[in-house]
Structure 1
Amino acid sequence: MQISLQTLGKVLQTNIHVLAQGRHHDPFVFLGCHPIDITEKQQHKENGWALCVWLPTAETAKVDDIELQRVEGTDVFMAFITDKQKEGLPKHYVVEWVEKGGSEHAMVSPYTFLPQLGELDLHLFAEGQHWNLYDVLGAHPKVIDGVEGVQFAVWAPSAERVSVVGDFNGWHGLRHPMRVNGGSGVWELFIPGLQAGDIYKFEIRNRQTGHCFVKTDPYAASMEYRPKTGCVVYESQHKWNDQAWLTKLAEFDWQKSPINIYEVHLGSWQRADDGLFLNYREIAHRLVEYVKWMGYTHIELLPISEHPLDESWGYQTTGYFSPTSRFGSPDDFRYFVDHCHQNNIGVFLDWVPAHFPKDEFALGRFDGSALYEHEDPRRGEHQDWGTYIFNFGRNEVKNFLISNALYWLKELHIDGLRVDAVASMLYLDYSREEGQWLPNEHGGRENLEAIEFMRSLNEQVHSQCPGAVVMAEESTSWPMVSRPNWMGGLGFSMKWNMGWMNDTLDYFEKEPIYRPYHHNQLTFSQVYAYSENFVLPLSHDEVVHLKGSLIAKMPGDDWQKAANLRLLLAYQGLHPGKKLLFMGCEFAQWGEWSESRALDWHLCDHPLNRGIQLLAKSVNELYQSHPALYERDFESSGFEWIDCHDFQQSVLSFIRHSDHQKLICVFNFTPVPRENYRIGLPQPGQYIEVLNSDSELFGGSNKGNAGSVTSEDYAWMNQPYSAELTLPPLSVVVLKLE
């Protein structure tokens, strides 16, 4: 038996019609159990209730013992019940139905639950101030009124209808339409019976065009293994064991502490014997053992947020809240971080808020409108990378990004972020010709909205996550990047010193005979070294895109290449600033890095490469064990030239200071040994040679000073004492007063 559509009131007819068209913004006003208004039902004059369910694939349906009748020509099933029958129904009743194919199903009706998002949540989100937004939006297993299920919520203000789709409903876009919360643009639905592990997406119908498309959840905590793009309902079961580390981190004085970063691409550091990816847990044990042996303090991961394309290295993110499934589950990643912390290794993460890819399943044109990006391509598209640019002036977008940063720091225990491509955010005309960009409200080229976003980001990170650092990859002369907001700065903890990196590599690539004419490339860094809190990067960007590996950049034969690389690594370790080195550079991988294969670890068995690796290890150990090399990194009082003028012999010498220590560093940038080279010294006594990069242990010629020199009461180079040294070729000698 069917209910004739004509016997129903106009409001019911309209609801059924809009629902069937997939255009209903609030199916709760119709589905469920609602009082009968006499104007809504012509045949039944008595008061009572209309029990309505929406089952597009069902043949028959019932609730408890109440048989539901199909509304003629629709997929709505209804029954008109009395007050007494209503009292006999549980608050959250079970709908049973038989599919057209004959299979039977039963589930608590989703349309019996009250809204779960509070007014405060929606208000804070609209204001861009909901810092734990990841707890509200996305998919979360919950128990509501004793019923287990999953709460879904998504922001899509230009949608006419949003539905949850997945394996559980045959990916049918009309089975589970959501309700919108007033004018917030936030849609929600609690679906009983779902659980962690279920695959889902959102089907969105745009209000203006009527077009439908299926999108991944911007707040998904887990995603499927590429090339699949489904979201996975996730609930962490990991029990953290890093409380000792977190307690120490809260009081971490990073400005006066050693920070020596090993930059890693997890997919190519090492691989399994069959060439497949290792799991986060496997990588954790191998990587931590190696990093501890080498003497690094931190690991920095190239982006491990979910991304579809291996070749992007993670810089084109589609799952901002989801650690990539390439290496396991989100809890496997938590184990990785936990294991690092238990072994006193910090973990930094490359984070990409500057742009996002145009993949149809992800953020781009999310609800059919330019939601996360600017509408105008002169503001909203990055021409070089073929990506969209975030609309930093929109509160909800800013909130999305800042809550994402806090998610990695607070929920996944990351110790800091390296923010990618800051320069592209700062300038509206970045990599654009005249006429291809729009000026700001004052007619300038500065992106005022992005500046405000970065200041807010850094303010929240530093206030909510004590000890965490935020590093800017910023390649221009923008002032005060690493100065606090209250000083007019951007608020970053540190800034990558791209000038030092470019000048230093350009110098080292030159044949030694030409180096005297470019001596200023070594000394110029001291002109600006203390204007920011600098990190000295020798990163992945320098060993890709036909740039060659570090050792391949060096001039001369193999011996000179190796000596030059040892000298470069030592120069980085002794120069003021925190350190970062990309994986493989520490053992002189000859080939350019590729994300598609593991590093050439077999090279560590070769004497030349093994020597460079041991030199890198020795420099790291020297750095960690001597406060003079890190305690005053950002203060001019921590550095003193002995002689910066000997360009003709390409020799540099300086002192690194701490409160109670001085280290004398003398560099010879030519393959010519310098005998009887007099160097000024600040104090009398015997000076121990604590590092000689020409040691035979490192593959050098073993020239040196027999382990120590004694000062003479002879003023030299503005120092009260001096001594004659033997400077080995292409090497550094580091001395410390005994």
Structure 2
Amino acid sequence: MNHNTVERLRQAEEGDPFGFLGPHAHGDGVLIRVWLPGADAVDLLTADGESLGAMQLSDPDGLFELRLAQPQRYRLRIHWPGGVQECEDPYSFGPLLGETDLYLFAEGNHRELWRCLGSRPVEHEGVPGVRFAVWAPNAKRVSVVGDFNSWDGRRHPMRLRYPAGIWELFIPRLEAGECYKYEILGQGGVLPLRADPLAQATEMPPATASRVPQAEPFAWQDEQWMSARDKRHGPQAPLAIYELHAGSWQWTQGRPPSWDELADRLIPYVQDLGFTHIELMPIMEHPFGGSWGYQPLSMFAPTARFGSPERFAAFVDRCHRAGIGVILDWVPGHFPNDAHGLAEFDGTALYEYAHPFEGFHPDWNTCIYNLGRTEVHGFMLASALYWLREYHVDGLRVDAVASMLYRDYSREAGQWIPNRHGGRENLEAIEFLQHLNEVVRTEVPGALMIAEESTAWPGVSRPVQEGGLGFTHKWNMGWMNDSLSYIQQDPMFRRHHHHQITFGLHYAFSERFILPISHDEVVHGKRSLLGRMPGDRWQQFANLRLFLALMWTHPGKKLLFMGCEFGQWCEWNHDQQLDWYLLQYPEHAASQALVRELNRLYRGEPALHQLDDRAEGFQWLIGDDARNSVFAWLRHGRDGESLLVVHNFTPQVIDGYRIGVPKAGSWRVLLNTDESRWSGSGAGTQGELHSDAVAAHGQADSLNLQLPPLATLLLRP
């Protein structure tokens, strides 16, 4: 007996337990050793349960031994102070991961990393149990701990697989649902217990343990949606996204809903309003609810706040069967430094950059992923593919891309490290985003990859082969900032801010844009969308209707945050549901009804969506009437269909306003946001009217319109 090894087992410092425990050749037989601190006695059994004899207690702290004449399969009958347990010996099993898995992981290109790392119910060498595997290359020892071993790190130390730095262990007879963590002995001592970076299920926060997931795959029933998704997501298709926070949309019995309860209410609501997709703020498990999910630690696990991973899959499935796409916000740029998380995971900067100028985010007090490390690159690549493949998610909205692209983002001079060329671009992050988007494009056809990118970085939605980042869409933050700034102005002064509407159309076709009015615009003292509007109560609602109509008739796909559709007065609060009681008041119900009508027109009129990203889909008629704060343009479809859009941003009715049109004859008003059914004044042109042979705005014919106050007209020949 090697007394040094026994002492290391006693002190939980043994990094090679398989070199000592389990069956080992001994003379002309085999010696079996087990280390079971706290056990009273251990009997050795055959695989069929017959006794092979009582094991000898060779060390009082828990080392038991028995010599057999020849190797054979065996089981253990362990006598604990509180009962008897029968199971196979974890140290009698061979290695788990194949060489290909280890190679692809080290290369940073394992496309299904969740199938080899983390915990997974499997049958190994004919025995059911759970396989555990975790990357911790600089650890001296890693153990799996949980209720099944009294959270004792001496009980289940793992095998290290060189050179990948992955520790693995098969624990027989363990089942799905078990809570576990990893106890890691770093170079400087034992670290706080770590949750599994590849966990696919977790405990309910504030508890922080990982859970062994279910083995059975979900039985999907969304074949019809998935087979047609590519066409639904094409650049010529309408895309109207309803963004929501699952925990605060609508409560059930005074509490946040489960996934099933959310599906029961949300799906018919979104169908009724005509949105094509929902976008969920991050649902990856996160320790602090006040982060809204934007500081996640489990990049492979749906939060336990709303139910099991299987119920989340069922939620997505129900959305698809109802014709609604599901987009998830996804955060690859940074992670929080909670003690059970990824920060200095094995006692070293493993997932993050080591230097604080690279690895610490000053805005959010978080750690920055070291995407230049192949294993971390592959970890994040696999996370994206996991949601798209395993949960049939239709797209990812990638959070805070600007913070990833620049090494000096939110940093003062002297507080950032240039790249190898001396520049400010984060070359590792750029390479990762390009690789990610290329992999998604080829392996998950039809999936949306949407960048929240707030700078003028060129080619965000341009193909990688053309030097772009390869996203399918980019949030148009410039439009959002300019249009919100404009609409907040008193109408008397809007003439001095006319450029805030016209400027965005200079670059509207440089990317495939989504126009976002997101959660970020209705928090932190910015006020709600309705609360931003100037004027008395009537003017506030009129401005809200006008702004929504501006957004829906402007080039670009649409995204609207929950509550904006019915004019919530208060800022969004993640700790309570929306103010649904407001719908009893006519103005709020009318705002909601207008969004329903805007979506109906947007989806039904090809001119409003077919050429969103192409200049030929848009034509200015009036962009210079700052005195009247009037804008007019044409939207064109592929087959020559044209719609006339006119916005009056003053509270005055303007009579006899002549606008040139490309087609002579009858024109019909499809939308007047000042109609009484929208709680408007009922002013402005309605019904049908005929053009006059009077040239205007470069057109041979024109219409003589009455422009309603603070309102939009939409007309079709």
TM-score range, shorter chain: over 0.9
> Whole-Å Cα distance in 2 between the matches of residues 60 and 335 of structure 1?
47
1:24 equivalenced with 2:25 (yes/no):
no
Cα contact 1:543–1:550 (8 A) shared by 2: yes
Structure 2 gap segments, 5+ residues each: 46-51
> Whole-Å Cα distance in 2 between the matches of residues 413 and 136 of structure 1?
20
Aligned residue for 2:63? 76
1:302 equivalenced with 2:281 (yes/no):
yes
Poorly superposed stretches of 4+, deviation over 3 Å: 250-253
1:552 equivalenced with 2:531 (yes/no):
yes
Letter in 1 for 2:39: A
Letter in 1 for 2:277: H
> Whole-Å Cα distance in 1 between the matches of residues 233 and 681 of structure 2?
40
> Whole-Å Cα distance in 1 between the matches of residues 16 and 472 of structure 2?
46
Aligned residue for 1:335? 314
> Residue by residue, what CA displacement relative to the aligned partner does 1:48-97 show, whole Å, maximum 9, x if unpaired?
221111101112112123211122344211122323xx3xx32xx21112
Alignment of 1:76-225 (within 5 A): 76-83=63-70, 86=71, 89-90=72-73, 93-99=74-80, 101-206=81-186, 208-225=187-204
* Aligned match for 1:48, one of 12, 29, 39: 29
Aligned residue for 1:465? 444
Secondary structure at 1:644 match in 2? strand
Cα contact 2:685–2:708 (8 A) shared by 1: no
> Whole-Å Cα distance in 1 between the matches of residues 404 and 663 of structure 2?
49
Cα contact 1:250–1:465 (8 A) shared by 2: no
Q: Give the CA deviation at 1:112.
A: 1.3
Secondary structure at 1:33 match in 2? strand
* Aligned match for 1:521, one of 485, 500, 517: 500
Which segment is superposed worse, 688-697 or 73-82? 73-82
Letter in 2 for 1:317: P
Cα contact 2:133–2:169 (8 A) shared by 1: yes
Secondary structure at 2:224 match in 1? helix
Aligned residue for 1:344? 323
* Aligned match for 1:705, one of 664, 685, 688: 685
1:455 equivalenced with 2:454 (yes/no):
no
Q: Give the CA deviation at 1:448.
A: 0.5
Cα contact 1:655–1:665 (8 A) shared by 2: yes
Aligned residue for 1:57? 38
Q: TM-score, normalised by structure 2?
A: 0.98
Aligned residue for 1:685? 665
> Whole-Å Cα distance in 2 between the matches of residues 180 and 224 of structure 1?
27
Q: Give the CA deviation at 1:550.
A: 0.6
Aligned residue for 1:4? none
Secondary structure at 1:373 match in 2? coil
Q: Give the CA deviation at 1:718.
A: 0.5
Secondary structure at 1:598 match in 2? coil
Alignment of 1:539-578 (within 5 A): 539-578=518-557
Letter in 2 for 1:570: A
> Whole-Å Cα distance in 2 between the matches of residues 255 and 80 of structure 1?
71
Cα contact 2:177–2:213 (8 A) shared by 1: yes
1:694 equivalenced with 2:681 (yes/no):
no
Q: Give the CA deviation at 1:298.
A: 0.4
Q: Give the CA deviation at 1:251.
A: 4.2
Cα contact 1:173–1:203 (8 A) shared by 2: yes
* Aligned match for 1:315, one of 286, 294, 300: 294
Secondary structure at 1:430 match in 2? coil
> Whole-Å Cα distance in 2 between the matches of residues 237 and 468 of structure 1?
21
Aligned residue for 1:43? none
Cα contact 1:285–1:339 (8 A) shared by 2: no
* Aligned match for 1:728, one of 701, 708, 712: 708
- How large is the Cα RMSD of the aligned pairs? 1.1
Cα contact 1:544–1:592 (8 A) shared by 2: yes
Alignment of 1:390-469 (within 5 A): 390-469=369-448
Q: Percent identical across equivalent pairs?
A: 50
> Whole-Å Cα distance in 2 between the matches of residues 417 and 630 of structure 1?
21
> Residue by residue, what CA displacement relative to the aligned partner does 1:448-470 show, whole Å, maximum 9, x if unpaired?
00100110111111111100011
Q: Give the CA deviation at 1:434.
A: 1.0
> Residue by residue, what CA displacement relative to the aligned partner does 1:657-684 show, whole Å, maximum 9, x if unpaired?
0022111000100000011110100001
Letter in 2 for 1:136: C
Secondary structure at 1:249 match in 2? helix
Q: Give the CA deviation at 1:213.
A: 2.5
> Residue by residue, what CA displacement relative to the aligned partner does 1:230-255 show, whole Å, maximum 9, x if unpaired?
11111245311001101001444521
Aligned residue for 1:387? 366
Letter in 2 for 1:53: V
Q: TM-score, normalised by structure 1?
A: 0.95
Aligned residue for 2:483? 504
Secondary structure at 1:183 match in 2? coil
Cα contact 2:233–2:448 (8 A) shared by 1: no
> Whole-Å Cα distance in 2 between the matches of residues 484 and 700 of structure 1?
45
* Aligned match for 1:595, one of 569, 574, 588: 574
Cα contact 1:349–1:417 (8 A) shared by 2: yes
Secondary structure at 2:193 match in 1? strand
Aligned residue for 1:260? 240
> Whole-Å Cα distance in 2 between the matches of residues 162 and 254 of structure 1?
47
Which segment is superposed worse, 442-451 or 233-242? 233-242
> Whole-Å Cα distance in 2 between the matches of residues 289 and 507 of structure 1?
34
> Whole-Å Cα distance in 2 between the matches of residues 204 and 671 of structure 1?
67
Letter in 2 for 1:75: G
Aligned residue for 1:375? 354
> Residue by residue, what CA displacement relative to the aligned partner does 1:332-365 show, whole Å, maximum 9, x if unpaired?
1011100100011000000001100010001111
Q: Give the CA deviation at 1:27.
A: 1.2
Q: Give the CA deviation at 1:172.
A: 0.7
> Residue by residue, what CA displacement relative to the aligned partner does 1:528-556 show, whole Å, maximum 9, x if unpaired?
11111111000000000011001110100
